[in-house]
C-alpha cells in the first residue's frame, strides 16, 4: 500500500474512533466558562454527546469518594452524580443528559466539577477502663461513663468506626474507609476493657482494634486470659494487632553487649512472629498491625518490624490526624481522664473536607 494511502487510512480510523466515543477537544469560547485562574489550575477537557449521554473523563490525584456537579451555561446546578469510589488516576463516568428530576436536557454546553471528600481521621486510643473508686490515680484508666459519652458523640454525629487496618489502607491509598470515619484502639489487653469496655462497644455496634502484648495475656493478673480475648473476638467487631510478645520489657529495644545489628534485628523479628503466632493459634486470625507505645519507634526498629511482614504500624501522637498518603503509619490520639471532651468533639467535627479536584466542559459535537 502506498504511503499516502496509509496516512489516509490512519486518519479515517482516528476520525471514526473519535466520532464513536463522542470525544472532542475544546476550542474558542468554551473557555468562557472558566476564569484565568481556573485555566492555570485545572486541566479542561470537553466530551461530546452521543445518544443524549456524555462520557466524562477526569483525572484524580487521590483515592476518594465524592460527586460530579454539572452546571448549565447560566451556572444553574442541573445534576449531581454521587461517586462511591474515585480512583487515583483517570476515571470515566457516564451522564445520561438528564437533570436531577429525570428531565432530558437540550442545551449545547455544560461545565462540570469533581468534588472529592478528603478525610482527616481521628484515632482515639484507650489503655484501660475502670469504674470510679478503682485505680483513680491512673489517668489512663478511663471511666466507663467517659467512654460511653465518647461513643455517644460518635453515634449522634453519624460517624462510622473503622479499624486501624482500614485506616491504614486509606492512608496507604489502597482502599476507602467508611464515610465520616473514626478509629478506636484499645491496647495491652487489660481485664478492665473486658469487664467495662467491650460491652459498651457491643451496645453501640462499633468496630475497634485491640492490640495485645501476648506475653502478658493469661500471665499477669491485671490482663485478660485467652478465653476472655476469644470472647471479645466473638463479638464480631474487633480487629487484633500486637505490641509484641516480650518487646515491652525494659531493655529489649537496644542491642545487647556483643550482639550484632543483624542479630538484634533478628531478635525483634522473632519476637513479633511469636506474638503473631499466638494470636493466630488462639483466635484463628491473622495480624497485620503493630503498635508502638514506647519511644522506641526509630527507623531501625520500625524497619525490623516491617521486615517481619507487618502491614502497618501505629504511633501515638497528640497532634496529628490521619491523612491520605502516609504510607504504613497510623497515628493515634491517647485519651485519658484529663482529656477535655471538647477536644474529642473538635476532632470529630473536622473529619470531612470537600475539595474540587477537577473542572471540565461538556459540549455537543456538531461536526
In this structure, the answer to whether residues 96 and 137 fall within a common structural domain is: no
Average pLDDT in the 316-337 region?
Answer: 91
In this structure, the answer to whether residues 167 and 251 fall within a common structural domain is: yes
Asked whether the predicted pLDDT for residue 27 surpasses 60, the reply is no
- Per-residue pLDDT tens digits for 214-257: 999 999 999 999 999 999 999 999 999 999 998 655 567 778 88
Structural domains of the chain, count = 2
pLDDT number for residue 256: 83
Average pLDDT in the 52-64 region?
Answer: 86
In this structure, the answer to whether residues 87 and 128 fall within a common structural domain is: no
In this structure, the answer to whether residues 296 and 182 fall within a common structural domain is: yes
In this structure, the answer to whether residues 81 and 138 fall within a common structural domain is: no
What contacts 145, CB < 8 A, 6 or more positions away? none
| Average pLDDT value over all residues in the chain | 85
pLDDT number for residue 53: 77
**CATH code for the domain of 263:** 3.20.20.370
- Residue 365 banded pLDDT, cuts 50, 70, 90: low
pLDDT number for residue 4: 52
Distance CA 152, CA 136 (A): 23
In this structure, the answer to whether residues 325 and 359 fall within a common structural domain is: no
In this structure, the answer to whether residues 44 and 154 fall within a common structural domain is: no
Average pLDDT in the 151-155 region?
Answer: 97
The model's pTM? 0.83
- Per-residue pLDDT tens digits for 257-286: 898 989 989 988 999 999 999 999 999 999
Average pLDDT in the 305-313 region?
Answer: 93
pLDDT number for residue 7: 52
Q: What is the domain range of residue 157?
A: 123-350
In this structure, the answer to whether residues 51 and 143 fall within a common structural domain is: no
Asked whether the predicted pLDDT for residue 174 surpasses 80, the reply is yes
In this structure, the answer to whether residues 234 and 207 fall within a common structural domain is: yes
pLDDT number for residue 299: 84
Average pLDDT in the 347-359 region?
Answer: 92
In this structure, the answer to whether residues 187 and 237 fall within a common structural domain is: yes
In this structure, the answer to whether residues 210 and 306 fall within a common structural domain is: yes
Average pLDDT in the 82-106 region?
Answer: 91
Average pLDDT in the 110-116 region?
Answer: 92
Asked whether the predicted pLDDT for residue 294 surpasses 90, the reply is no
**CATH code for the domain of 86:** 2.60.40.4070
In this structure, the answer to whether residues 173 and 304 fall within a common structural domain is: yes
Amino acid at each position: 500500500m502506498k504511503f499516502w494511502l496509509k496516512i489516509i487510512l490512519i486518519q479515517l480510523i482516528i476520525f471514526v474512533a473519535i466520532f464513536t466515543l463522542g470525544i472532542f477537544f475544546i476550542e474558542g469560547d468554551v473557555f468562557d466558562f472558566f476564569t484565568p485562574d481556573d485555566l492555570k489550575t485545572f486541566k479542561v477537557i470537553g466530551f461530546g454527546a452521543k445518544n443524549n449521554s456524555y462520557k466524562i473523563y477526569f483525572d484524580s490525584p487521590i483515592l476518594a469518594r465524592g460527586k460530579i456537579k454539572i452546571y448549565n451555561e447560566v451556572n444553574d446546578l442541573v445534576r449531581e452524580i454521587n461517586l462511591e469510589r474515585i480512583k487515583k488516576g483517570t476515571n470515566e463516568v457516564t451522564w445520561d443528559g438528564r437533570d436531577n428530576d429525570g428531565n432530558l436536557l437540550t442545551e449545547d454546553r455544560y461545565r462540570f466539577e469533581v468534588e472529592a471528600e478528603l478525610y482527616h481521621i481521628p484515632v482515639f486510643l484507650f489503655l484501660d477502663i475502670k469504674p470510679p473508686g478503682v485505680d483513680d490515680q491512673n489517668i489512663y484508666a478511663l471511666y466507663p461513663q467517659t467512654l460511653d459519652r465518647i461513643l455517644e458523640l460518635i453515634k449522634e454525629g453519624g460517624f462510622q468506626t473503622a479499624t486501624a487496618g482500614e485506616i491504614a489502607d486509606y492512608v496507604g491509598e489502597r482502599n476507602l474507609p467508611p464515610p465520616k470515619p473514626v478509629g478506636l484502639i484499645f491496647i495491652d489487653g487489660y481485664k478492665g476493657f473486658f469487664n467495662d469496655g467491650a460491652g459498651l462497644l457491643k451496645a453501640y455496634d462499633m468496630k475497634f482494634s485491640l492490640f495485645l502484648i501476648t506475653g502478658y495475656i493469661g500471665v499477669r493478673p491485671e490482663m485478660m486470659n485467652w478465653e476472655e480475648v476469644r470472647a471479645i473476638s466473638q463479638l464480631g467487631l474487633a480487629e487484633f494487632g500486637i505490641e509484641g510478645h516480650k518487646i515491652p520489657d525494659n531493655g529489649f529495644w537496644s542491642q545487647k553487649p556483643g550482639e550484632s545489628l543483624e542479630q538484634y534485628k533478628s531478635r525483634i523479628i522473632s519476637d513479633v512472629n511469636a506474638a503473631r503466632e499466638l494470636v493466630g493459634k488462639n483466635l484463628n486470625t491473622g495480624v497485620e498491625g503493630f503498635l508502638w507505645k514506647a519511644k522506641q519507634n526509630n527507623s531501625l526498629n520500625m524497619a525490623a518490624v516491617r521486615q517481619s511482614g507487618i502491614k502497618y504500624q501505629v504511633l501515638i501522637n497528640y497532634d496529628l490526624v490521619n491523612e491520605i498518603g502516609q504510607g504504613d503509619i497510623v497515628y493515634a490520639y491517647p485519651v485519658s481522664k484529663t482529656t477535655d471532651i471538647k477536644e474529642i468533639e473538635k476532632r470529630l467535627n473536622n473529619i470531612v473536607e470537600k475539595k474540587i479536584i477537577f473542572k471540565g466542559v461538556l459540549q455537543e459535537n456538531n461536526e
